[in-house]
Structure 1
Amino acid sequence: MPTDTSGFSQFTAAQIAVALQSMAAWSDVANITFVRVSDAGSQYSNNATMLFGNYAEGQSGAAAFAYLPGGMPGATGTGSAAGDVWINSSLSYNANPVLYGYGTQTLLHEIGHAIGLSHPAAYNASAGVNITYDQHAIYFEDSRQYTVMSYFSETNTGAVFNNRYASAPLMDDIAAAQRLYGANTTTRTGDTVYGFNSNAGQPWFQAGTAASPLIFAVWDAGGVDTFDFSGYAMPQVIDLRQGAFSNVGGMVGNVSIAIGVTIENAIGGTGADTIRGNSADNTITGNGGADVIDGGLGTDTVVFSGPRAN
């Protein structure tokens, strides 16, 4: 382990599960594959190109750190340290990471470094340094609305996640990872539903009850796809255009669509929703409430829930 840390421990089963989930999230969007390595008779190994471990002290109390892979500009570490991920397990959110928790985003963020992504600007956590959006961000989108690699709250760019954090790459992360590795063109090529009744296969795309939070950016490689937000009762803004954000389930700017993705259909909730289509042939279902629907371009179908006279 790095010489400026102490208190090494192996990842727990919970941490391993979230690490595998986080690597799968990066593989979903980019043409990168992770293969788990284990030594004979053990679930652990020291012989992988990307190693994970816990520390309890050091790094000026940082929550975690990672080294860029070898051959990348920046802090690649020395020797075998390149690409390794270190987590401060003395912090409860890191010891027990959960969906939409800060510990899960921390692990996702550090894996981002390990595959070659930097922070959006030239800042880094260090003792006695107060890093702020106003002083250190050099472009508007440097917030956790757009990228898990940012240090700054989504509220800086107008979003509201209600003290939750993304558990998968966001819009700018997808673009950056695809620039390095290319896009994964095999991800969800069938007809995929996101939200309620989801068949997308990842937990951050699934809503089970009216209280279920959603925070995600969609990368989808094909099929006729649907945003189903039918289980929510509050007013929502649902936007099917690529590069756009939607306000879903009581949050603001919490659902987005990556550049190059087409989502064809939308199902609103029982509140007064505003739904905007795209240039594809959309089917839009208002699903109750005093909705405002703009199909955009294309030959669109709007499904009404009440009598035609209404």
Structure 2
Amino acid sequence: MAYVASITGIVFSETSNGASASVHFVNTDIPDFSTSGLCSWYADATIMGTNVLSYKANAYIYLDNTQFGAQNANLTPGSAGYETLLHEIGHMLGLKHPFETSTQNGNTLPYAEDSSAYTLMSYRDVGGPYSSFSPYDVAALNWLYGRDGLGGALGVGSITGARYFTGTAGIDTLTGTAFNDTFNAGGGNDTINGGDGEDTAIFSGSSTSYGFIDMDTNTIRVQGADGVDLLTSIEIFQFSNGNFRRSEIADTVAPPAPTLSIPKNANGYVNDNTPFLSGIGEIGATIKVFSGPAQLGAATVDAKGFWTMTSIALPDGSYSVVATATDGSGNVSASSAPFAFKVDAHAPSAPTAAFTLSAGANQPAFSGTGEIGTDIYLMDVSNAVLGKTVVDGAGKWSIASAPVANGNYSVTVQSADVADNVTAAVSKLVFSVNSSLNKVGTAGNDTMSGTAGNNALSGLGGTDLVVYAGARGNYTVAEASNGFTVTAKSGADGLDSLIGIERIKFADASVAIDIDGVGGQAYRLYQAAYDRAPDLAGVGFWMAKMDQGVSLSAVAADFVTQKETTDLYGANSSNTTFVSLLYQHVLHRPLDQAGADFWVKGLDNGVARGEVLKGFSESGENIAQLVATTHNGFEYIPYLG
């Protein structure tokens, strides 16, 4: 009973006078041959109004000495008899079986927790025999008695209304009363709110083995062997080496170094002289960003762990900046990794521009002056790029245009420097093209061919095909600013502009140039599913099906059932393995955990594998890595079925 007293605070005194005893232990033959122990009790009270004038309780604990005699004869801690004794003492103290309900208590435990590993009151043995109550038993006894005995300051019927809260080895959220509560959260990363009153939190180790971080004036994070706990409105912290008030606990743990990122272009320039900065840091910490000794700004990490700020105005030049995090106690983190960028907030000088265009021609020639080294862009009213060049060392530029379609043009000439600062010419170049060399299709599926000379062939809708009589080897197909160009190496075909055209047919080969459409989707799906370039007939078949309206999702669903795909990814692989192999065979890199978790969660929630394959196939990363292969089109064999 000394053990029971240690976890309840109840004082037990042994007596030889049965009439004066409250707890009776009986060694007897229990008639039910399957029962090793029993507990019965009764209580009697005299109550007047709200006053209890007298109270008498008696409990009887029976241990069988016949069928279970050998077991119950050994009451050494850790024996089966001792565990049976603890079970019956639990009943005496007010604990019930976890699977039973009553009019007073309808709560039960789920099957996974209805075992002796969680509570000795269970009939399902897992492990053991046990020499002490299991975690749920201790939590219940703490709640009932508060570890300070009968009529104490804690527990049911306490003199103050305060309670003793006990957690588990997992993640718990404990909320106190308005009185002086005690919390023992146990292991795991727990959240405790003491509420009003002077509340105490109990930890298993010495205060010197814990780290403390002040989150705000009322909340502190405590990290140690018990886990990482977030405590609010806790006044007393009880450790093995004593009790400490909040003011006596020093936060000496520096926050982790924050991350730092700044958007910049391919040349390393930010978009203006007040760059936008962002990153991740410890919640509530103050982030400061420095360039050398100069502070560029400060921000507070939000509740999700993110921070953003806009820098002070910076002169043109090159910079390397770092960020630090300072917590509420003044602890400063190590610096982030340095981040380099450049500032150029001055736009280039305005370019000059002129053009020449003969009557009936379709190739205007543009020229002008500009700031040396800047890029010159010719932009139409839809902001489509009609041409691009670089201003030479003499400050001059020129663009000999490929054939352009018939129509009216208003062209803006822009000069852009390495920092993406843009200045436009004062006046637009306005002209019209009306050339007999040009052809225009319909809104449907058109088949066109050029004439001798340089043509602009425009498709207005559908899947359009341009036919050339020569062999593929006599032509160069290249991506252009407004579509594609086809240049004959010899003969009369010349240089043609293909605008809004999807396919090209030569005498001996076919080429798909709808890289942003059906053709590109089919090519990328083949590459993703099989980790190889598509066979010409196969990609031609699926392009034909998609031209007829079959969705990319439907094609991807078919691909994941093919033998080549299942050989590569596994016919019955786990979702985790499937996603890992997609990273390997599609993106050709190790997985990033956050991205992989996203895809695995989707699969676990019922997203089809074909949809995930499609997602990888059409990802920006996969599109980018195939640009070099497909940007000038790719060959295929048309499906004629």
- Normalising by structure 2, what TM-score? 0.22
User: Whose Rg is larger?
Assistant: 2
User: More strand by proportion, 1 or 2?
Assistant: 2
